[in-house]
Structure 1
């Protein structure tokens, strides 16, 4: 079985970045670039005006944006990305009401074996339709997804839409709750994470990350509930679900009330609580994970949930 410190398995996502607004532009706050030193150097010299490049587009249009081909596009770092073998990216804006807290950007490379999915679903005429997605080598699953829609409450995207909370699904290839189970099983997809992405104006967006065993999105997932009514006090969060390749389930629903709990500024999850912005960290987890990403979800004026994944 794969261990937390196993670095031989390639992850689906190659680069993760957090861009934060400073004045009228976005500047890099943190990033995980692995061994892509030249691309990291190019990124640290870059800024984005509203509407400029991929982060700026997600900011200006107030929605998650998928860019499946960086080469020859509006991606400002296209030359550096090509040299690093990076091909596709997704930008996820984090809004607290109308205020932009940050833009999380994840960047992937493409080959004949890299399998997984990063999808953006949006509501149209009472159904969730695929806005766009990146699937790597899972071409048949991509075709099925393009021809699938979800009513509220159905499947992973529809379940997230109905509950307005992040959700984890296991065993995608055999799970009756996953509508695309047959094609997911054939593609080797095993774990699904669905995240609501609140934006100004109230339009519904759901981000789904579907992980395969050979090239996982991450090796560990965590869902934290930060709602004051759930936790008991503001500026705290409790772990309500999680799974990892080594440890299996990280939370036992029969032991509610005994979940791990953090407070503001306590570790990386606490830093998300304190700032309300995403966190990308490298080489900080005691279990030996090389990096982690924590994505906050704001709702009704409070930080409601935090989704974290570790590689």
Structure 2
């Protein structure tokens, strides 16, 4: 990602939270709310049954769900969200085979300067179609996306489908590999992260996070491969790709880029198979928060994707 982004600059996503099943309901396991204390308090006092609210809907339907407006919808925290300036949300269920693990929910605000994209792509009739997405003020890019389809292997979306792995793509506006490069460049989108969202029954979903310099989705992205890195019974993961929007690397290039189960936030996800959100002093390398999301393939943990704000 070209340029250096100040730590105080706003991000496209304002809230990230993890909901886990407990005695038949979803309860809050962790969240990053910034200064939105009242919304955080409402969330801590809320739980969801299967099919109830946005997290419960993603659980029941076993698919990512985009909600671009809360008024009159099934969203349970509408008044608190409105008071916090939150206007849209995306819920991503995490399954290991048929075993349900958690739901990651991210919430965004709105505004004329808010540029970015969170998209859900679904396979229908042998190609990937846009199921839905939130784009902020990137209206033309949204229109282009609604009229674009991806066969397996084409672009970021089709590449994730073919490889069944997360992929980072740089220089979206000038890269020939990004099918929507022209409109991405006009919108100011610079970096794309695509990841598979495995679901029971073999349905194909791809989630894309497209970041702009002015309102980045995150200031740092990491992809960790957990498929082959083991020492005895201890699970390890290797950092296979990453991109940082500020000066200074998050690792020492003289050291192996490895982590082990239960070491740091990525290690905790590696050990538990459940997404995690950490904030403030818990977040690594001076960032205010970090989200780590596991990807399970064939019932086994294959990757952990992390983004830092």
Q: Is 1:241 aligned with 2:241?
A: yes
SS state of the match for residue 175, structure 2? Answer: coil
Structure 1 stretches of 4+ moved >4 Å: 230-234, 247-252
Q: Give the whole-Å Cα distance in 2 for the aligned partners of 1:77 and 1:100.
A: 23
Task: Establish whether residue 144 from structure 1 lines up as the match of residue 144 from structure 2.
Answer: yes
- Offset at 1:251? 8.7
- Separation in structure 2 between the aligned mates of residue 143 and residue 231 of structure 1, nearest angstrom: 45
C-alpha contact (below 8 Å) 1:160/1:166 kept by paired residues = yes
Residue 309 (structure 1) aligns with = 307
CA distance in 2, matches of 1:258, 1:287: 16
Matched, 1:262 2:262: no
Q: Give the Å deviation of 1:259.
A: 3.7
2:296 equivalent in structure 1: 298
Give the 5 Å matches for 1:189-204: 189-204=189-204
Q: Distance in 2 between matches of 1:160 and 1:94?
A: 17
User: Contact 2:229/2:236 (CA < 8 Å) preserved in 1?
Assistant: no
- Deviation string for 1:236-278 (max 9, x for gaps)? 10100000112488799xx9x9641111111111100111000
Distance in 1 between residues matched to 2:33 and 2:215, nearest whole Å: 17
Cα RMSD for the two superposed structures = 1.8
CA distance in 2 between counterparts of 1:113 and 1:71 reads 23
SS state of the match for residue 186, structure 2?
helix
Query: Residues 1-311 of structure 1 correspond to what in structure 2 (within 5 A)?
Result: 2=4, 6-227=6-227, 229-230=228-229, 235-247=235-247, 259-283=256-280, 284-311=282-309
The runs of 5 or more residues in structure 1 that have no matched partner are none
In 2, the alpha carbon distance for the partners of 1:72 and 1:39 equals 19
Report the TM-score, using the length of structure 2 for normalisation.
0.95
Whole-Å separation in 2 of the counterparts to 1:304 and 1:260: 17
Q: Secondary structure at the match of 1:2?
A: coil
- Provide the secondary structure at the position in 1 that maps to 2:143: helix
Q: Deviations over 1:112-161 (max 9, x none)?
A: 11000000000000000000000000000000000000000001010000
Q: Contact conserved, 2:284 with 2:290, CA < 8 A, in 1?
A: no
Kindly tell me the number of residue pairs found equivalent between the two proteins: 305
Q: Which stretch of structure 1 is more off in the superposition, 37-46 or 234-243?
A: 234-243
3-state SS, counterpart of residue 4 of structure 2:
coil
SS of residue paired to 1:265: coil
Change in CA separation of 1:201 and 1:210 when aligned onto 2, cut-off 3 Å: same
TM-superposed CA distance for 1:291, in Å, is 0.2
Q: Is the 8 A contact 2:220 2:308 kept in 1?
A: yes
Q: Which moved more, 1:297-306 or 1:156-165?
A: 297-306
Does the 8 Å contact 1:119/1:132 carry over to 2?
yes
Q: Matched residues in 1 for 2:124 and 2:220: separation? A: 33
Q: Work out the CA distance in 2 between the residues paired with 1:230 and 1:265.
A: 15
> 8 Å contact 2:70–2:78 — kept in the other structure?
yes
Aligned residues of 2:64 and 2:92 also touching (Cα < 8 A): yes
Distance across 2 between alignment mates of 1:264 and 1:232: 11
Instruction: Classify the secondary structure of the residue corresponding to 2:118.
Output: strand
Q: Give the distance between the partners of 1:16 and 1:173, measured in 2 at CA.
A: 27
Q: Distance in 2 between matches of 1:111 and 1:289?
A: 24
Unaligned runs of 5+ in 2: none
